[in-house]
Amino acid sequence: MSKEKLKVLIVEDNPTDALVVKKRLQKDSAFDYEVTHVVSGEEALLSMENNTYDIALLDYNLPKMGGMEILAEIKRKNIEVPVVMVTGQGDEIVAAQLIKEGALDYLPKRENYEDAVPFMIRKTIAEFRSMLERARLQKEIALRKEELEKTNAKLMELDRMKSDFVANVVHELRTPLTIIKGNLDNIDKGFAGEVHPKQKEIMGDIFRVISRLSRLVNDLLDLSKIESGKMELNKECLDIVKLAEETAKTFETLAASKKIGIVREFPSKQVIVKADRDKLTQVFVNFIGNAVKFTDRGNVTVRIIDLEGEAQVEIQDTGPGIPEDQTDKIFDKFVRVVAEKKEGTGLGLPIAKDIIVLHKGRVRVESETGKGSRFIFVIPK
């Protein structure tokens, strides 16, 4: 294998010293050295500007332009070269200053100091190369970061446009829906003439579809408000036990028609949390609603645990459960577990989660397929 060629610049006014170092390098088998020798700082700078050196050994004590001055010029002219300063005996005290000015190392001119030169060159070049590599990587990281920031800003703008679009469309859907519902109501009540039983039956179907559509429109509107940061919480101190009881009660008839019980496990005392009444009710409706909807036998348990600084709510059911690989996804928009053929859009859980997070709470689910699910959330007091 051919050896790597290293171009070395020796800046030394004493020809004997230069020759000693040159000879020592010829004996070193690690590299193939190409040595250039100049005798003054001016010459050194000129040579460095016109050639690329792998390393410069710079005598600190030069008659005219001294080591420190040459270092400053190298920096000013942006010459990329690692410098080892060769200092005289007793010059060690300036070493720290030399390093500060950009020299990578220094070598005192002691007896046989030339023997240390090959190692010093190897070490300094390795250090310089890793410095260059670090600088290159840092530059690349900065560039990538800038690119990412630009892309991110663009995506956020697109996302905002999408949210605005959805919000506008959904908002526009509300008015005609209200009109359709109102008119249908009038027909149903006989204001437009007698309604036959068959017509009433068909209208019943239409009402059901319309109320589904209204719910979807309201859910989408809620989500777009949350996503654009426009959902505001009207927080008040309220008893979460009472709120849970009120919501559970509204599901009693539906649960009874499916022969499921709604079990309450509440603390005997009230548990006061700071929350938005309507929004927290919506959270309970979504969780209890899901539990009753997806469960066909057994019970739905609504449990409240009074903890230090927060209230923990658990909605547990004996329904089909949720496959493990789906438990994270169900909190995303429009995600529904395919096997559950129940009515719905897949917006209830993402809304509930967003509302909980807005209250600085947390939510998670524990589930075992075939056995049931337990949705757990906490709301700070």
Nearer Cβ to ligand ATP, position 41 or 321?
A: 321
Note the Cα 22 to chain centre separation in Å.
56
Nearer to ligand ATP, 118 or 348 (CB): 348
Looking only at residues 78 through 117 of this chain, which bind ligand ATP when binding is defined by CB under 6 A?
A: none
Query: Is residue 321 involved in binding Mg ion (CB under 5 A)?
Result: no
Residues of span 262-291 touching ligand ATP by CB under 6 A: 286, 290-291
Minimum Å gap between C-beta 170 and ligand ATP is: 14
Site for ligand ATP in 299-358 (CB under 6 A): 317, 319-320, 322, 330, 335-337, 340, 344-349
CA distance 35 to 62: 19
Among 321, 348, 350, 361, binds Mg ion (CB under 5 A): 348
Which does residue 320 touch among ligand ATP, Mg ion, none (CB within 5 to 8 A, set by kind)? Answer: ligand ATP
Cα dihedral value 288, 294, 298, 299, nearest 10: -10
Residue 66 touches which of Mg ion, ligand ATP, none (Cβ within 5-8 Å per kind): none
Amino acid identity for residue 328 in this structure = D
- Candidates 163, 224, 282, 290; binder of Mg ion (CB under 5 A) is 290
**Is 6 near ligand ATP (CB under 6 A)?**
no
Residues 128-187 that bind Mg ion (CB under 5 A): none
Contacts with 43 (C-beta within 8 Å, 6 or more apart), sequence order: 11
Residues that bind ligand ATP (CB under 6 A): 286, 290-291, 294, 317, 319-320, 322, 330, 335-337, 340, 344-349, 373
Residues that bind Mg ion (CB under 5 A): 290, 348
